Amino acid sequence: RRQAPSPHHGDAHRHHLLSLPPLRPPPHSHHPSANQRFDRSHLRLPPRAAAHRTRCATEGASASTATKHRRPAEENIREEAARLRGPATTFSAWYEPFPPASDGDPNERYSLDEVVYRSTSGGLLDVRHDMDALARFPGSYWRDLFDSRVGRTTWPYGSGVWSKKEFVLPEIDSDHIVSLFEGNSNLFWAERLGREHLGGMNDLWVKQCGISHTGSFKDLGMTALVSQVNRLRRAPLSRPINGVGCASTGDTSAALSAYCAAAGIPAIVFLPADRISLQQLIQPIANGATVLSLDTDFDGCMRLIREVTAELPIYLANSLNSLRLEGQKTAAIEILQQFNWQVPDWVIIPGGNLGNIYAFYKGFEMCRALGLVDRVPRLVCAQAANANPLYRYFKSGYTDFQSLVAGTTFASAIQIGDPVSIDRAVVALKATDGIVEEATEEELMDATALADLTGMFACPHTGVALAALFKLRDQGIIGTNDRTVVVSTAHGLKFTQSKIDYHDKNIKDMLCQYANPPISVKPDFGSVMDVLQKKLNGCAPVGINFPSESLAPN
């Protein structure tokens, strides 16, 4: 049972409830694994404020505010966190080669404070956590700790990423964190879409990661990366990093630029000319980034930024850098949290450079390994048919991967033919008995429009994932009662031109069957009434008559 809080606990105690308390196993005990039973007698969950009955207004303002404490007016939340900082934790994380090379050094690892992107063999790196240290506490402890931080403004735990700080970058000082209170995004119950268009699915959800500061899920990873860069640039490390750079199809550059602007760090972005939306282009420009528009595709921009960062003191921010995946994996943990720590059956994720599907797998698997949940969901990676190297690899039984030159797709953020994280994605899919599906341009645009007509405002990438869901339902792979989560990676307002063209039926060789164009009407009462009666004939009850005075012109 939880201990009741002492009546003498003040501000420092309340702040410490949101940080990990310095719990220790009993003396001389071994460190139990995540699958072992715990002696919980030595563990105490963070006590919460004692419940009080609701007071009515007549009981007086002084009574209702008597227990409220506020930081000094001249102190901000970052300064308050520094003043009330609790004891340091013993958790740690580091880089390891991914995947471990069979003929490589089994002890190869790097501190997160090193500027390194690849292993000695030239492969990717992965952030690994000290799971034994984390497993000293049972899954119920982590669930309660994370739940206690949701919705707070206490620095930095109000962020959906940093509320899971121990699972992200456990050693970073809170004063180095650069956060815009990202995450905590809506889990939208797609009731009508599931009921009317997907065979009566009653447990269909859309994780709206695009409802974030810069309008995409990239904020989740960028807060982790830019925070670590901020740590490296400041004393005592004082690394000579002059800026942070990335190649981008739009959303990465927007996120990087915003977080660098918040931290006062120069940002440099390489964008493929004429291949991203104006809404995406204006974001880094407005945030003060140095924007280079290059006459090449994303893969060409990626090759150039890697060459540049090898010669100049510019920190690479693309998903080649595994720090971003640590932030992105918190969306998976958040889904579990929003389902009261129940595991969905399926999670469908759009895939381009393929770091995100691995990030979701990491989040789910970490929670399983540490006892927060007992299994992981099956993952689906959805690709645009015009940029589908993983889909082709999956269809070959993972025997013949070939990069390709990506064709033009409305889902421009995943228009990538040579994904950096191909090996990561395969690990995630194999570990979860996952599936890869593709969507043509017409399928993704129709799925987007149909979702919009049921209350969403989906981006084309979400349309790819939704189109994959339609196919998997038709094939009987995803069942009517399967709890299914579609990950929406960006806000539809970033891609309005594609919607305009669709509803204007201005897309070559596309029927645009769910188009809903505006109706041009003469500005007189009779013309308006004719249009409305035709439009409502079949929507309104039979015999309905609108009172003439309600529609009559003034």
Two structure tokens written together for 10: 């003040």
Each domain of the chain, given as residue ranges in start order, spans: 187-213+323-495
Contact between residue 384 and residue 438 where contact means Cβ atoms under 8 Å apart: yes
The SS3 call for residue 466 is helix
Cβ density class 372-409: b for 16+ within 10 Å, e for less: bbeebbbbbbbbbbbbbbbbebbeeeeeeeeeeebeeb
Answer CATH for 187-213+323-495 from 3.30.43.10, 3.10.620.30, 3.90.1170.50, 3.40.50.1100: 3.40.50.1100
- According to DSSP, the β-strands at 93-98 and 124-129 are antiparallel
Q: pLDDT truncated to tens, each residue of the chain (554 aa)?
A: 334 444 344 444 445 455 555 454 444 444 444 444 444 433 444 444 344 443 443 334 344 444 557 889 999 999 898 888 877 778 999 999 998 877 778 889 999 999 999 999 889 999 999 999 999 999 999 999 999 999 889 999 999 999 999 999 999 999 999 999 999 999 999 999 999 999 999 999 999 999 999 999 999 999 999 999 999 999 899 999 999 999 887 889 999 999 999 999 999 999 888 877 777 788 999 999 999 988 888 889 989 998 999 899 999 998 788 999 999 999 999 999 999 999 999 999 999 999 999 999 999 999 999 999 999 999 999 999 999 999 999 999 999 999 999 999 999 989 999 998 999 999 999 999 999 999 999 999 999 999 999 999 999 999 999 999 999 999 999 999 999 999 999 999 999 999 999 999 999 999 999 999 999 999 999 999 999 998 898 564 433 333 343 333 33
* Other CB atoms within 10 Å distance of the CB of residue 303: 14
Contact between residue 244 and residue 290 where contact means Cβ atoms under 8 Å apart: no
Residue whose pair of structure tokens reads 């007509």 in the numeric block = 453
Contact between residue 269 and residue 291 where contact means Cβ atoms under 8 Å apart: yes
- Kindly list the distances between the CA atom of residue 398 and the CA atoms of 167, 383, 393, 435, 451, in Å, as whole numbers in the listed order: 31, 16, 5, 12, 32
